[in-house]
Chain A
Amino acid sequence: MKKKQADYALGKTFPGVAKILLKMKLTLCVILISFLGSMASESYSQTTKLSLDLKNAKVKDALGAIENQSEFFFLYSEKLIDVSRKVNIEVIGSTIEKILDMIFVGTDVNYSIKGRQIVLATPEANNIVEKSSVNQQQKKVTGKITDQSGVPIPGAAIIVKGTTIGITSDNDGNFSLSLPSDAKVLVFSFVGMKTQEIGVEGKTTFNVKLEDETVGIEEVVAIGYGTQKKSSLTGSVTSVTDKELMASPSVNVANSISGLMPGVITKMTSGEPGRDNPQILIRGRNTTGDNSPLVVVDGIQGVTGWERINSNDIESISVLKDASAAIYGARAANGVILITTKRGSLGKPTINYSFNQAITQPTRIPKMASSADFAGYVDQLDVESGQKTRYSEAEIQLFRNGTDPNYIDEDWYGKVLKKSSSQSQHNLNVRGGSENVKYSVSGSYTDEGSIFKNGSLKFNTYSLRSNVDAQINKNLKVGFDLNGSLEDGNYPAYDVGTTFGALKQIPFVPVFWPNGLPSAGIENGGNPGVMGTSLTGNRNTKTYRYMAKSSFDLTIPWVKGLGVDGYFAYSNDIGIDKNWQTPWTVYDYNKLTDTYVPKLGGGILYPQLTQSFTGSTSTLVNLRIKYELKINDHKLSTFIAAEQSNYIFSNFNAFRKNYISKAIDELFAGSLIDQSTGGVRSESGRQNLFGRISYGFREKYLIDFNYRYDGSSNFPKGKRFGFFPGASVAWRVSQENFMKNASFINNLKLRASVGKIGNDAIAAFQNLMLYTLGNTGMSFGSSPVATNGLIAGVTPNPNITWEVGTTANIGMDASFWNGLLGFTVDLFKQTRSNILATRDLAVPLYTGLSLPNENIGIVVNKGFEIELSHTKDMGDFSWRVAGNVSYSHNNVVDISEAQNVAEWKKQEGHPIGAIAYYHALGIFRTQAEVDAAPIYTGTKVGDLQYEDKDGDGKITANDMYTMDKTSTPEIVFGLNLSMNYKSFSLWANFTGAGRAWQYYHVNARIAMNQLADVILNRYTPGSMDSKYPRLPTLETMTEVSGLQSDFWLKNATYGRLKTLELSYNLPQNLLSKVKIQAMKLFINGQNLFTIDNVKWADPENSSNTAAYYPQSKLYNLGINLTF
């Protein structure tokens, strides 16, 4: 009863909590029921019945056949057990003991079965030692063999090099061995692990950590609703592991994946802490609509905030690029990013702590014109408009000298921004587990500062993530995942874009007057030296994310291979945005009276506060029935599943103004007059049925079929459900008998897939005519009272449904000479039809229609990905080089364009985002040239000359033509190097993009400075070779040289060193004394250098005025401790 009361109280205070508790109880119930139901327990070895029919087969193959047919796995050393011996086995429905007895009859191999694990050993090994040691002086050594995470490896072989003397490790990984006196080196080996050789001199204890074999044939990759061995993948799936992610000092995972996965395009368009999520595209653009991929974290779809999961907590990231994504149906057409977080593993608790401290710097800061150069430009403008020049030569010289305090040459960027800022990260995690319970608990903290001097901008994240798996009995496994995080962003009340725009202030005015008072800036007191600080007030955004997931996995005991699993997930994101705006004071200096004239900045007279609260809640229920069947060489696995999700969004906001005091920034303290409140709620839901059938024959011929029958509340009845199938096949040529002789080929696989996938990323209810009630009416009356105002929404489209992508992929994976050469190539084509777009290119605006999305467009996107790798292990020294190149080119086939548009101005036939430009031929240098050429009206000497595309003798808008130069790169590449020498390792990731362009509008006028390059190289009267024409002065593109032309289109191709890491693992013998298992020291960096042609701003910039928070360069020092 007590507990109930507590729940009630909690629920009363936080209504949402009651709901959470209820749902949790519900889930608990499901799990409890299934748990109780399967309390049965019998040993797996007794219940499992195997059938084998092997003639003259190697022991190794026999063991493999058992592994394929069951969940048993063998641990043994090939050095001790002769597995190439031929045997004949013919059994039907026999137990494992019987079969093993048959296989090893007549040998001294003994086996021990522990659950599903079978260790093979020979007593002979010890005998050898005994025999050979009779007459020799002996030295006894002991040790323990574990894997990287410290889990003991039983059955590993320890052999004295050059002898047959050896032993296998016991179930706890321990061994003890007497060495002959001439023993020099011990060889440690285990299947699937790298062999290690260690000198024996001076040592009696060997604690050896064996590393996974990197060639990774048996690497497991997450796919939709499951995992698959990389060798038996049929689709185009690329993945990256924690190792690569953790090498990057970025706190934003999305910025760490750049260049690591072929086909994944990232564009980091801002470096602002907390707002630096890059744009991510899988295989480029496929639609004129929403191109963002679906992100799935641990089975939960559409997760927001995934970018801020600590990289220490991520096991792997996989990307489904082709028909393999069809299992996610109507949301999968832009590709699917699957993130798997780390879970517990067998072994004693391992405590891991990592700390990173970084210095961040902008990658590039625009270099603005100096006062002297800018004054020259102002004079030129004065002359051109028939006025007297403002600055004499002598004055310009004074600006240049910088000796006269009245002639200031201010470096606004330098004065407002710091040289560098800092960033730190902490992560502490504990992982471990027994046969019954495995756990992983991890906490992280990050702290990011900004580059504003005295800036109030900072961003912190806190997260706690706990994944627990429990094996209740042999049939039932349950899991509980809980995580919570807080993203706490503190920003100046002024939008940083505006602040960066204000850095183009004219250099004659200082940021701060000599007495320290801030100057007034250009308008509204817009001095960026103040706008970046807390003088503007404070905007605090807090995002709390909670997720609880419980899952179960039940094996149905009496039908072999049949199982049921499922999960229930509840997530709740809460956003609190508190925007406290305060007016600030800046000063103009009146030099005639020598006074500082105060001026209020911020556009308001008194403080004001806007506070909003948003909550989004989603629930996901998933239930799946799966079945696996292995008969001899045939392996079939299939499942059918149902899923349902519900999403509720609600928001509440309040506003008060005219605060009489700055002291308290809470709502109550504001004026009661003109306060306002608002709130809204919306809901959506999805229901689906989906499944997969995978069939493999001897792991040689693989077929995979997956499908989803998907329904979404976004669409009207009758248009809600769609069927999305995907099929893929693979042929592992290297497994064929005829390839057996080509032993240099480790793997050769051909793949092909085709599928239908959808994209439903649009606003809901576009099938209905809806009216929004807003604060938009008029204020009638003698003392005005606001009316709401009801705004008509979009014209209903009763036929609306999702986009359909038909995707095809062929690919090849190959690996030669044990990894000396690895090779993957994929060719793809996606035809997206029914593209959801508004028909605004074709519908005249006089219709007044507020257009809904309609299924109108067709886009074809084609491309390829190539990945080459080279791995070499020379004992102490090993390295891997992998390079990838991705190319995608899309083409708008149909977007319902206006019928009358000139052919060359059409968007159809060009990539998405391609727009029409004038083609600049050069700069007019003489009046004669202007007179002789077709010109844009108003052209003067010094303006740009354009191509007369339509040949009508004058330059008009009809001469613009669509150029295939978009800001989305068509080529991206990555070059990853890793080198290990003894305890040192080096990791470098070079990334880059090609076939991308960025348009810049560089205008400068009396009130606005511009890049030094532009001002210095502008056209001045008489110039015959100026780099730039007469400079545009207006924001609008209406002046002759400021028209939208390809002259201002910059090739944004770049290559950069995205990540570099040098790390050192401290020697174990040193650490064991202080009870530390492992300690890694590393220095790493991000965006360390960039090669490009843009120069004006970072090549990943996407703002045509370059007014944005620049991308960051990071220098980081870190330590990673394992206890």
Chain B
Amino acid sequence: MTWIYNFINKRRKSPVFYSILLISMISLISSCTKDVLDKSPTDRFSDEAVWKDGNLIEQFVNNTYRVMPTCFSGGNYTSIAIIFAELTDELYGRGGNHNYINQGNITAAQLGALDWWTVGRGYNYWTVITQCNIFFSNIDAAPVDASIKNRMIGEMQFFRAYAYFRLVALYGGVPLITKPFGLTDDFKVPRNTYDECMNFVITELDAAAALLPTTYPAANLGRITKGAVLSIKSRALLYMASPLNNPANTATKWQAAADAAKVVIDLNLYSLYPNYKEQFMRTNSYNSEAIWSRPYNYSVSAENISFELRLYPNGYSGYGQVHPYQNIVDEFEMVSGKLPKDDPAYDPQNPYVNRDPRFYATILYDGAPFKGRPVETFIPGGMDSREGPISSWNATETGYYVRKFIDESITNPSSLNQANNPWIFSRYAEILLNYAEAKYNLGDEATCRQYINMIRSRPGVNMPPVTEAGVALLTRLQHERQIELIFEEHRWFDVRRWKIAPVVLNTLPKRMDIVKNLTTGVKTYTINTMQQFTFVFTDKNYLVPIPQTEIDKNPLLKQNPGY
């Protein structure tokens, strides 16, 4: 080291030395300055990387599966269990959460649980549509194996079509957007008509059906099949033929609906599952009746479908969030095939005997066996009543809880402890009923009865066949659909498209109060009205208003009538 010191010390006064020193320091610093500003993202994939790589594109498609709203995810789902069921005459939501919607007080500024347009961007139809549009603007040039590519195109065509179908069913015609927007684009586009949108939906579904397989190998179960596409096509054409959208009652529309249902039936892939209750369980995922179901799995994808937590009665440590009205309990037939009100065998003081087996699979009522003890909604002191010792504030306000969808094997349900049942978007029973309805409207009442009775005679149900004709048959058809598909988010749309909403939705909701005499053990059943929750339906409520914020941003969007 000494020689360095000496060397430097001798030259310490030399300007050259200092200059060299300075220059070397500056160059030292500048040598590490290279590329300091030229960073590329290391935590995300670039556009370029994604659309050249089939594996990444597939993950993009997989995410689209997840973004599709279900009964839990999507919309304004705060404290909602089964969204559309709560917005119609099926389920009462605790505390009257949706009272203002059910009373017709929905406004363009406040859509609440019916805001499927602006709320829940993580699970949202417009998000689905945008993802599909991004996909379609890139997929053509993507160097991906044709079979995989076609499957992905089919999947995405289906998703976009389904998202539009749902939006149109809620809002009427919406802007039909098929290309992704750029930042500098003009966002002000008008609404397309109902027919324009639905024709697009049908065309896309047809295209998707042509690309997708009927079945998948085990590892790919859960992907969209040809059957899933055709089942939605059946529903879409049925909606298009229905009185709300087919005021002229054009027969060709019914014919198209009938044909579409028949195509699914003729696939010969699906059959009614032998156990009505168990078909919704996770252990029976992808059963013979489920056409399109959405698997959930907390343990691998950290997603919740909290049926047990939200539906279990308070006495079983559930939230008991939604409560079936007495009104729908009254709609479950006696085993005689008659409604309780028409059946002399019905005893109002022993109301839960000899009912349609689907009643026991659907409703938890006082005395229903559940997890090793009967459900107790009676007072005083019923475990599942408001006087129960466990979370009494979560007790039913109608006297009932939901049995459908929940897995009895779960104890102490929580957000992490649940069965993870799939959500079934479409199942074979609906297709049969779709077909029956289309046939009825084409005048083929015999086929209509035949298909209704296929449902009624399903194993474990075995209800007497329907024999009515004419308008009475239509009533039975609608009734069958109400019972079979209860809580499955059909009712909200069905009562509108049938245009019976003004009748069935202008009702006085009822509840069951059961008082037990503690000394005699005798229970007294009294039906009371829930005056303050009376439904109000006016014509404007056929459609949901377009959110005001969207109209504020785009004056070309015309509001639905009445809002």
Indicate if the CB atoms of B25 and A39 lie closer than 8 Å. no
Q: Which of B36, B100, B103, B531 contacts A646 (CB 8 A)?
A: B36
User: What A residues does B25 contact at CB under 8 A?
Assistant: 30, 33-34, 564, 566, 623
Residue A777 interfacial (CB < 8 Å): yes
From B13, B117, B223, B414, contact of A845 by CB (8 A): B117
Q: Which residues of B contact A686 (CB under 8 A)?
A: 36-37
Q: Specify which chain B residues have a CB less than 8 angstroms from the CB of A603 in the assembled complex.
A: 414-417
B375 beta carbon closer than 8 Å to chain A? no
Interface residues of A in 743-795 (CB under 8 A from B): 764-765, 768-773, 775-782, 784-793, 795
- Asked whether any CB of chain B lies closer than 8 Å to the CB of A956, the reply is yes
| Interface residue A36 (Cβ < 8 Å from any Cβ of B) | yes
Given A764-B39, A958-B109, A900-B555 contact (CB < 8 Å): yes
Contact A682 B43 (CB under 8 A): yes
CB–CB B550/A1033 < 8 A = no
- Return the contact of B301 from the options A602, A776, A898 (Cβ within 8 A): A776
Q: Using an 8 Å CB-CB cutoff, how does the interface string of B520-563 with A read, 1 for contact, 0 for none?
A: 00000000111110000000000000011111111101000000
User: When chains A and B are docked, how far (Å) is the Cα of A843 from the Cα of B294?
Assistant: 31
13 contacts between A and B (CB under 8 A): A33-B25, A39-B5, A597-B389, A644-B29, A644-B36, A687-B37, A769-B47, A777-B301, A780-B222, A782-B221, A790-B57, A795-B183, A845-B126
- Give B495 Cβ to nearest chain A Cβ, in Å: 22
Pick from A37, A764, A842: contact of B17, CB under 8 Å: A37
Q: Which of B128-136, B264-272, B330-338 contacts the other chain?
A: B128-136
B63, A777: Cβ atoms closer than 8 Å: yes
How far, in whole Å, are A769 and B46 apart by their CA atoms in the complex? 6
Q: Given A685-B36, A956-B109, are A34 and B41 neighbors across the interface (CB < 8 Å)?
A: no
Minimum CB–CB distance from A870 to chain B (whole Å) comes to 50
Closest to B175 in A: A846
B300 pairs with A785, CB closer than 8 A: yes
Contact of A385 among B56, B221, B397 (CB under 8 A): B397
Assess the B393–A384 pair: CB atoms within 8 A: no
Say if the beta carbon of B341 comes within 8 Å of chain A.
no
Does A506 reach chain B (CB closer than 8 Å)?
yes
Interface: B317 (CB within 8 A): yes
Complex Cα spacing A1074 to B341, Å: 101
Q: Say whether A1038 faces chain B, with CB atoms less than 8 Å apart.
A: yes
> Chain B residues in contact with chain A, CB under 8 A?
4-5, 8-9, 12-13, 15, 17-18, 21-22, 24-26, 28-29, 32-33, 36-39, 41-47, 50, 56-60, 62-63, 65-66, 78-79, 95-97, 99-100, 103, 105, 107-110, 112, 117-118, 121, 126-127, 129-131, 133-134, 174-175, 177, 180-183, 185, 187-188, 218-223, 285-286, 294-297, 299-302, 317, 319, 381, 383, 386-387, 389-391, 393-394, 397, 412, 414-417, 528-532, 547-555, 557
Q: A588-B390, A781-B221 given; name 15 further pairs at CB < 8 Å.
A: A506-B393, A604-B414, A605-B416, A674-B299, A687-B33, A770-B44, A778-B65, A778-B294, A780-B62, A781-B220, A844-B554, A847-B130, A848-B177, A849-B181, A938-B105
Asked if residues B531 and A776 are in contact (CB atoms below 8 Å), the reply is no
- Whether A522 is near chain B, meaning CB under 8 Å from some CB there, is yes
Instruction: State how many angstroms separate the Cβ of B534 from the closest Cβ of chain A.
Output: 11
Contact partners of B118 in chain A: CB under 8 A: 845
Which residues of the other chain, B, contact A384 by a CB distance below 8 angstroms? 532
**Alpha-carbon distance between A861 and B154 when the two chains are bound, in angstroms:** 54
Q: Which residues of B are found within 8 Å of A777, using beta-carbon distances?
A: 59, 62-63, 65-66, 301
Q: A681–B43 contact, CB under 8 A?
A: yes
Residues of B within 8 Å of A674, CB to CB, are 299-300
Q: Give residues of chain A (639-690) contacting chain B, Cβ–Cβ below 8 Å.
A: 642, 644-646, 657, 673-674, 680-687
**Of the residues B47, B177, B383, B549, contact of A847 by C-beta under 8 Å:** B177
The 6 closest A-B pairs by CB, nearest first: A848-B130, A957-B109, A1007-B393, A777-B62, A685-B36, A786-B300
Chain B residue at minimum C-beta to C-beta distance from A38: B12
**Please, how many angstroms separate the alpha-carbon atoms of A26 and B131 in the complex?**
49
Instruction: With A777-B62, A792-B134 as known contacts, state yes or no: A901 contacts B552, CB within 8 Å.
Output: yes
- Tell me whether A390 is interfacial, beta carbon within 8 Å: yes
Measured CB to CB, the closest approach of chain B to A1042, in angstroms, equals 11
Minimum C-beta distance from B272 to chain A (A): 21
B79-A1035 in contact (CB<8A): yes
CB of A713 within 8 A of CB of B130, answer no
Number of A interface residues, CB 8 Å?
Answer: 116
Chain A residues whose C-beta falls within 8 Å of the C-beta of B381 in the assembled complex: 592
A776 and B66 in contact, given A597-B389, A898-B549 (Cβ under 8 angstroms): yes
Q: Does A591 contact B (CB under 8 A)?
A: yes
A937 part of interface (Cβ distance < 8 Å): yes
Closest to B547 in A: A845
Q: Is A48 an interface residue (CB 8 A)?
A: no
Q: Are B133 and A684 in contact, CB atoms less than 8 angstroms apart?
A: no
Q: Inside 8 A of B109's CB, which chain A residues have their CB?
A: 956-958
The smallest C-beta distance from A944 to any residue of chain B, in angstroms, reads: 15
B65–A899 touching, CB < 8 Å: no
A779 touches B17 (CB 8 A): no
Check if A40 is an interface residue, CB within 8 A of chain B. Answer: yes
The answer to whether A1006 has its CB under 8 Å from any CB of chain B is: yes
Name the residue of chain B whose CB is nearest to the CB of A646.
B36
Which of A36, A644, A712, A717 makes the CB contact (< 8 A) with B32?
A: A644
Cα–Cα, bound, A30→B31 (Å) = 13
Q: Which residues of chain A come closer than 8 Å to B108, judged between CB atoms?
A: 957
Is A779's CB under 8 angstroms from B415's CB?
no
Q: A684-B39, A780-B220, A791-B63 are known contacts. Are A770 and B12 too (CB-CB below 8 A)?
A: no
Enumerate chain B residues within 8 angstroms of A792, measured Cβ to Cβ. 60, 130-131, 134
On whether the beta carbons of A683 and B300 are closer than 8 Å, the reply is no
- Interfacial chain B residues near A621, Cβ < 8 Å: 29, 32
Rounded to whole angstroms, the CA-CA distance of A795 and B182 in the bound complex is 7
> Distance in Å from the Cβ of B318 to the closest Cβ of chain A?
10
* Docked complex Cα distance between A566 and B134 (Å): 50
- CB neighbours (8 Å) of B50 from chain A are 771, 790
CB distance from A858 to the nearest CB of B (A): 19
Minimum distance in angstroms from B486 CB to a CB of chain A: 25
A523: B residues at CB distance < 8 A: 319, 391, 394
Within 8 Å of chain B (Cβ to Cβ): is A720?
yes
The digit string for A581-620, where 1 denotes a CB below 8 A from any CB of B, is 0000000111110000101101111000000000000000
Complex interface: chain A residues within 8 A of B221 (CB): 780-782
Give Cα A623 to B23, complex, Å: 12
B296 contact set on A, CB distance < 8 A: 779
> How far does the alpha carbon of A588 sit from the alpha carbon of B383 in the complex, in Å?
11
**Bound CA–CA A934/B15 (angstroms):** 88
Q: State whether B13 touches A788 (Cβ < 8 A).
A: no
State the Cβ distance, B160 to closest chain A Cβ, in Å: 11
Instruction: Pick from A642, A768, A845 the residue with the most CB of B within 10 Å.
Output: A845
Chain A residues with Cβ under 8 A from B528's Cβ? 386
Complex Cα spacing A938 to B95, Å: 15
| Docked-complex contact A522 and B393, CB < 8 angstroms | yes
Contacts A600-B412, A780-B220, A844-B550 given: A713-B417 contact, CB under 8 Å? no
A786/B301 in contact, CB under 8 A: yes
Q: A520 on the interface (CB 8 Å rule)?
A: yes
Could you tell me if B183 and A797 are in contact, using CB atoms closer than 8 angstroms?
A: yes
**Cross-interface CB contact of A713 among B38, B59, B177, B532, cutoff 8 Å:** B38
CA distance A847 to B130 in the complex (A): 7
Q: How far is B299's CA from A674's CA once the two chains are assembled, in angstroms?
A: 6
Residues in A whose Cβ lies below 8 Å from that of B394: 523, 1007
A789 and B59 form a contact (CB under 8 A) = yes
A188-B475 Cα distance, complex, nearest whole Å: 110
B414: chain A residues within 8 A (beta carbon): 524, 600, 602-604
The answer to whether A33 and B21 have CB atoms under 8 Å apart is yes
Report the bound CA distance from A772 to B44 in whole Å: 5
A2 to B532, CA, bound (A): 86
CB distance B95 to A849 under 8 Å? no
Task: State whether A784 touches B297 (Cβ < 8 A).
Answer: yes
Is the C-beta of A398 less than 8 angstroms from some C-beta in chain B? no
Closest CB-CB distance, B87 to chain A, in whole Å? 14
Q: A843–B121 Cα gap in the complex (Å)?
A: 14
